[in-house]
Structure 1
Amino acid sequence: MAASLGTSSLAEVHLEGLDQVLHDLANGYQSSVDYESGPLGVPALDALLEVFMLRAMKSNEPASRFLQSPAQREQNCLDDEEMLFRRGDPDSEAVMPVEPDSIQREAAFPSNVFFPDSVRRRKSTYPVVEISSSLSAAGKSQMLYFLTARMVLPRFYQNILIGGQEATVVWIDADDRFDANRLLAVARNIVQRARQTLDPDALNEDAGGPSDEDVEAVLTSALHHVHVFRPQSSSSVLATLQNLDSYLYDLSRHSSASRSLQMVAIDSATAFYWQDRLRDETARTEEIGRSRAEVDREREKKQSFYLSDVYAEMVSELKRLQGRFRCAVVYTTTVAGGRPANSSSSSEPGGRYCRAPALKPALPAPWGTFPILRLVVHRDAVRSFPPASSTQDVKRDAPTRQSIINQGKFSAWVNSWDREEWPRRVADGVDWYNGGSFPFYVRESGIEIPPPDR
């Protein structure tokens, strides 16, 4: 009997190589994305992201789980978990077919949820956000600073709920404008605002509250997990992306081994566009009089520069990194032309209508179809004085106008360039969410992105 039991037990043993074990671990245990806070940790952005990432949405539910009550979010989470595990259970009567093009939400679950094979092997979609403007100083880099600070800060420090992601960020500084002091100020402001929510007695050092020196040490430690690269051309950007995983796996070069890569930020993706256009035109000029076979052979060996080839490889590398590290990609672009190419009307609460900006993609394919969420940002303008204003009118209104400027109010909108191609549920979701817009404030002390109205 023992021999029979041993034979049957041995027959159930399944041998797997180390590669398969590592693959299962990587796919079974997700990154440190918090289900409640969302992939970017900023509710205003995560709400809009979900409008575009979800392929199906109940008509009687709000456009985003981030605008629902905690009880609704908890129930939806339980329903989703039950559905996912039933899909992976061959004995369940509730087994549902898996659509190959379905957008996955598994990355939003806590990292300790182990998914069955049928769920785990489906292709996941990770956040890709494009932040554009037609002018400089519109708030693009400032939003990147805020996202970066939220991702590298700790979730808690002593008795303070900071709300960070405790992750790693790779910042590709193509514009050569990265300001570490500004990032430190933004991170400090986030911690200071978190401290203000505590009871004053809790901030007393004798009661266990952290001192200012302790907070500065935490900030400095967090910023060590922002890895900045300064490429000097698009070819250099591509090389950086191709070797990024090797750098991150080299534990002798940094101290981020214990953290997941949460975001690859590129500021900006259009930094070398006109330089690339010139190189591309030069390469095509040199083709004149040569055989097509010779040109194709050099192109295949990458002995000449072609803009479309380099940009396609850059997007391919970013997708590869997302598949390996389950990270978000957020990049900025500046659209030449000075003004939006067209615009479309969208409603705001209260029946008031505004015109949502519609900027044509600044980069050619495949960049144009790469982002899931495309935002347009700009600084809110102060209305100029009427031509007939007197000196007294100007002096009277000047303090009010200056106070408005000091607020540092900016606005972010969903780019409505290709709105006619959106599915109806996406258009309705964007309209429901304040027309796809939200404000943010950029001040010397830091940056604030208010949470969505609940």
Structure 2
Amino acid sequence: LELVSPPPTHHPSGAGKTSLLYLTIAYAILPANFAPSIVLEGQDAAVVLFDPLSHFSVARLAEVMLNLLISKIQGTGRDLDEATKATMRSLVRRSLLHVHIFRPQSWGSLISALRSLPDYLFDQTRHKSMHRRIHSIILEDIDAFTWSIRSSPSSSLASTTTSNLLSVASNNLTTQLTKLSTLFSCAKILTSHSMSPSAFRPVLPTSWPQGSAVTRLAIRRVEVLKFAPAIS
């Protein structure tokens, strides 16, 4: 799944990709039920997130999860007493242990982290998610590495064009992601900005292996027009 928004120059505010990720992750890591009579529709799974720009906020994710729990509980007519609130907070804390966040600062470190991910996930001494399946591997702001790829040392070679550099990088990325998604039977989610406001196509990856099923979701903020004078 590719979540693509217009370039940052198109609108000063975000398009909502990260907000959508918060909700997706909340459902992924929460359990199926809060109580026998309160269905959460959670997946009781784990999520791996790569966040190179440090945009992702665990505090915000916790807030989204609490709001989701409140909505589900109040929907059954149950009161939010202090005991219920304490149980909610405890559930959120336990669930957050299953969000594994990596913040690579270079393209090379991202690829290296992807390659070593199985070693990390299969090592029960390093996390508490061994008993959970992997819901998804999420790469946020994947386009953040575009300029470093274009300015890599190999780009000084006359025979190496920018498109070739991005193509090679894209192939490395999609190869690793395809291997991981097959190994863990999990989803792949990437977020990025498009190359132009009118074409919702990410810079990376440039393509996916033949036969890959890819869904691209274009997300943008829609301006709300102000009321005309004398209209309220």
With structure 1 as the length reference, what TM-score do the two structures score? 0.46
Contact 1:174-1:231 within 8 A present in 2 as well: yes
Structure 1 residue 376 corresponds to structure 2 residue 195:
no
Matched residue type, 2:3 = I
Alpha carbons of 1:135 and 1:310: their partners in 2 closer, same or farther (altered >3 Å)? closer
The amino acid of 1:195's aligned partner reads I
State how 1:135-214 maps to structure 2 within 5 Å: 135-136=7-8, 137-159=14-36, 160-200=38-78, 203=79, 211-214=84-87
Shift of 1:185: 0.8
Give the alignment of 1:306-345 within 5 angstroms.
306-337=165-196, 339-341=197-199
Paired residue for 2:144?
271
Tell me the alpha carbon deviations over residues 354-397 of structure 1, each in whole angstroms, 9 at most, x when there is no partner: xxxxx234325335975621001122321246xxx55xx2xx43
Query: Which 5+ residue runs of structure 1 have no aligned equivalent?
Result: 1-128, 289-294, 296-304, 342-358, 398-454
Identity score, percent: 29
Q: Counterpart of 1:271 in 2: which secondary structure?
A: helix
Q: How many residues were matched structurally?
A: 222
Question: Which residue of the partner structure matches residue 132 of structure 1?
Answer: 4
1:46 maps to: none
Tell me if 1:222 matches 2:100: no
Letter of the aligned partner of 1:131 in structure 2?
L
Aligned equivalents of 1:183, 1:226: Cα separation in 2: 10
Which residue does 1:452 correspond to in 2?
Answer: none
Structure 1 runs of 4+ aligned residues shifted over 4 Å read: 367-371
Give the Cα separation in 1 of the matches to 2:76 and 2:110. 43
1:149–1:183 Cα contact (<8 Å) kept: yes
- In the TM superposition, residue 199 of structure 1 has moved relative to its aligned partner by 3.0
Partners of 1:238 and 1:310 within 8 A in 2: no
- Cα–Cα, structure 1 residues 325 and 363, in superposed 2: closer, same or farther, change >3 Å? same
Give 1:265 shift: 0.8
- 1:287, CA displacement in angstroms? 5.6
Any idea what the Cα deviations from partners look like across 1:300-324, whole Å, max 9, x if unmatched? xxxxx94433321211111111111
SS in 2 for 1:246: helix
CA offsets 1:200-246 (integer angstroms, 9 cap, x no match): 3xx476xxx95201110000100110000000111111111100010
AA in 2 matched with 1:375: L
Secondary structure at the residue paired with 1:243?
A: helix
* Conserved? CA contact 1:151–1:262, under 8 Å: yes
Q: CA RMSD in A?
A: 2.4
Q: Normalising by structure 2, report the TM-score.
A: 0.87
Which one scores higher on RCO, CA 8 angstroms, separation ≥ 6?
A: 2
**CA–CA separation in structure 1 for the residues paired with 2:207 and 2:70:** 41
Matches within 5 A, 1:344-363: 359-363=200-204
Aligned CA distance change for structure 1 residues 235 and 367 (closer, same or farther; 3 Å): farther
- 1:335 is paired with a residue whose SS is strand
Question: 2:120 and 2:172 mapped to 1: Cα distance?
Answer: 19
Q: Which ranges of structure 2 fall in alignment gaps of 5 or more residues?
A: 9-13
**Higher Cα Rg: structure 1 or 2?**
1
- Asked if structure 1 preserves the Cα contact closer than 8 Å seen for 2:143 and 2:202, the reply is no
